[in-house]
Amino acid sequence: MAQLWGGRFTKETDQLVYNFNASISFDQKFYKQDIRGSIAHVTMLAASGILTDEEKNQIIDGLTGILNDVESGKLVITDKYEDIHSFVEANLIDRIGDVGKKLHTGRSRNDQVALDMKLYVRDELLEVKKLVIELIKVLHKLMKENVDTYMPGFTHLQKAQPVTFAHHIGAYMEMFKRDLSRINDIYERMNYCPLGAGALAGTTYPLDRELTAKLLDFKGPTLNSMDSVSDRDYVIEMLSAFSTIMMHLSRFSEEIIIWNSNEYQFVELDDAYSTGSSIMPQKKNPDIAELVRGKTGRVYGALASMLTTMKGIPLAYNKDMQEDKELTFDAIDTVKGCLALFTGMISTMKLNKANMEKSAMNGFTNATDAADYLVNHGVPFRDAHGIVGQLVLYCIDKDKSLLDMTLDEYKAISPVFEDDIYDAISLKTCVEKRNTIGAPGNEAIKKVIDLNEEYISNLC
Ligand code: ARG
């Protein structure tokens, strides 16, 4: 047991208590951030006249040595230490002697861990951002390539009106653009440095908190020391944004699973992104899409768990907050893994355009357009709806599509129909006539693609 405290205790900590309390098994994940924060702290301590330059340099050399040795595997982080902060400080003292004991001047583990977690989350937000951008680029490519790929659009999973694959993908494009903007917002809001808040009430040392914030690339210091050590709002916001990303990935996965099924055959997943069955030789399963859908629950769970952990905590720091780490780390790793795999999966899947188009041709996806035809010829919409309902019933009975009906058959139901009905309800017309902003028609979708092109060129 290696702890940073013990002076006021007369007994050793019970081993079970020690194990229960310790966080080294998971907070070692941010050893880099912990060392980075410590280097900034001593740099500030020296600039503020609290440490000499000589002391600062010795400490920074020691910390850099620890970082290099951990990275190279020469120094292994073990559970002999209570947490990552104790590990770094104890190793520093071993390495450089008593001067290492000055590292923690004007600092508490409360503001230290608040900083480490913020640095970690900030780094990871940027990683997730990169992955969302990769996905957005793949979606953009799919849109550009598929402005003329017709497919049925669905409501209630029933064929509704024809759209294009570009348009369908464009819906997800908008979702992931919003996800990206949420990440940017969270990053901006959280980007204030808590170091210097001390245990909860600041310190009596003349710390230059502006300098610490600057050294660590924050916009500035946080403004209330009690809030600084007990704020985990940004973790909750991140988990909420990540839950939304997972929700989007999960819906998309569900569609891919449906499209990849034998019944639909709209897409075929690449062999490299599919798995087989141990008993049924013919199977090629969309396991990746299913796992993404399944892992969504883990990320939602992290959000619910974090909200619950925080809800009853009096100010300022309480040990409950240690619970922020494992679930957050798991959620971050899950989201990163899912985004990367999902992007790989959709960029390698084959589109079966002929099947999509065939499917759009049947199922009466042009029924609305037949009704609109009648409206354009003076029939009130409600009556037109009724007439086309009769046409559909007739076609179901005769097992044909609206395009297969003869003009006589049309006229038997309504004399308003003329020869131009066929063109008015062709798949191409149904899509291409829809050119209002955000609609699937070529003209409309190309405008959106141009806007997206500009949006992407302005990213990072
Ligand atoms: N392991 C702790 C955490 O994750 C670090 C802070 C400990 N502070 C304290 N006063 N015990 O929250």
**Residue 321 Cβ contacting ligand 1 at under 6 Å:** yes
Comparing C-alpha atoms, which of 38, 120, 111 is closest to residue 321?
Answer: 111
CA distance 422 to 406: 10
* The two structure tokens encoding residue 156: 């209630």
In the chain, % of residues over pLDDT 70? 99
Quick one: pLDDT band at residue 284, thresholds 50, 70, 90?
A: confident
Q: What is the pLDDT of residue 8?
A: 80
Count of beta carbons in the 10 Å neighbourhood of residue 82: 22
Distance of alpha carbon 75 from the chain centroid: 34
Average pLDDT estimate for 393-406: 95
In the chain, % of residues over pLDDT 90? 94
The active-site residue, picked from 72, 156, 278, 457, is 156
Quick one: pLDDT band at residue 277, thresholds 50, 70, 90?
A: confident
Computed over every residue of the chain, the mean pLDDT equals: 96
- Strand pairing class (220-221; 267-268): unpaired
Distance from residue 253's CA to the centre of ligand 1 (Å): 39
**Residue 182 Cβ contacting ligand 1 at under 6 Å:** no
Flag the least confident range among 97-111, 174-188, 356-370.
356-370
**Residue 23 Cβ contacting ligand 1 at under 6 Å:** yes
Average pLDDT estimate for 165-170: 98
Indicate whether 2 pLDDT > 80.
no
**Residue 113 Cβ contacting ligand 1 at under 6 Å:** yes
CA distance 136 to 170: 10
Q: What is the pLDDT of residue 278?
A: 77
Q: Look up the pTM and report it.
A: 0.94
Shortest-distance atom of ligand 1 to CA 317: 10
CA distance 15 to 82: 12
Give tens-digit pLDDT for 293-309. Answer: 999 999 999 999 999 99
Regarding the domain delimited by 364-459, which CATH topology (the fold level of the hierarchy) does it fall under? Answer: Ribonucleotide Reductase Protein R1; domain 1 (1.10.40)
Q: Whose CA is nearest to atom 12 of ligand 1?
A: 322
6-105 under CATH 1.10.275.10, yes or no: yes
Quick one: pLDDT band at residue 460, thresholds 50, 70, 90?
A: low
Q: What is the pLDDT of residue 116?
A: 98
Q: What is the pLDDT of residue 400?
A: 93
Q: What is the pLDDT of residue 275?
A: 83
**Residue 110 Cβ contacting ligand 1 at under 6 Å:** yes
CA distance 39 to 62: 10
Give tens-digit pLDDT for 41-88. Answer: 999 999 999 999 999 999 999 999 999 999 999 999 999 999 999 999
Shortest-distance atom of ligand 1 to CA 23: 1
Q: What is the pLDDT of residue 421?
A: 96
Indicate whether 11 pLDDT > 90.
no
Q: What is the pLDDT of residue 406?
A: 96
Neighbour-count burial for 385-408, b at 16+ CB within 10 Å, e otherwise:
bebbeebeebbeeeeebbeebeee
CATH, domain 114-198+222-358, list 3.40.50.720, 1.20.200.10, 3.40.640.10, 1.10.10.10: 1.20.200.10
Domain boundaries, the chain: 6-105, 114-198+222-358, 364-459
CA angle 173, 159, 253 (to 5 degrees): 40
Count of beta carbons in the 10 Å neighbourhood of residue 365: 26
Count of beta carbons in the 10 Å neighbourhood of residue 347: 16
Comparing C-alpha atoms, which of 238, 266, 253 is closest to residue 126?
Answer: 238
Quick one: pLDDT band at residue 1, thresholds 50, 70, 90?
A: low
CA distance 326 to 315: 22
Count of beta carbons in the 10 Å neighbourhood of residue 315: 11
Would residue 156 show up in a list of annotated catalytic residues for this protein?
yes
Instruction: Quickly list H helices, 311-441.
Output: 324-348, 353-361, 367-376, 381-398, 407-413, 421-424, 427-432
| Side-chain-side CA neighbours of residue 90 (13 Å) | 17
Residues 349/267, Cβ–Cβ less than 8 Å:
yes
CA distance 337 to 347: 16
Would residue 250 show up in a list of annotated catalytic residues for this protein?
no
Shortest-distance atom of ligand 1 to CA 117: 4
- Strand pairing class (192-193; 158-164): unpaired
Integer distance in angstroms from the first to the last C-alpha of the chain?
Answer: 46
Residue in 18, 79, 83, 85 to alter for ligand 1 test, most ligand atoms within 8 A of Cβ: 83
Sequence-distant (≥ 6) Cβ neighbours of residue 409 within 8 angstroms: 394
* The two structure tokens encoding residue 293: 């859908």
Residues 23/86, Cβ–Cβ less than 8 Å:
no
Establish whether domains 6-105 and 364-459 are of one fold. no
The active-site residue, picked from 25, 181, 261, 277, is 277
Between 279 and 330, name the one with better pLDDT. Answer: 330
Give tens-digit pLDDT for 212-231. Answer: 999 999 999 999 999 999 99
* The two structure tokens encoding residue 34: 């912990």
Give tens-digit pLDDT for 328-348. Answer: 999 999 999 999 999 999 999
Quick one: pLDDT band at residue 279, thresholds 50, 70, 90?
A: confident
Indicate whether 25 pLDDT > 90.
yes
CA distance 330 to 161: 41
Sequence-distant (≥ 6) Cβ neighbours of residue 28 within 8 angstroms: 77, 84, 87
Residue in 3, 17, 23 to alter for ligand 1 test, most ligand atoms within 8 A of Cβ: 23
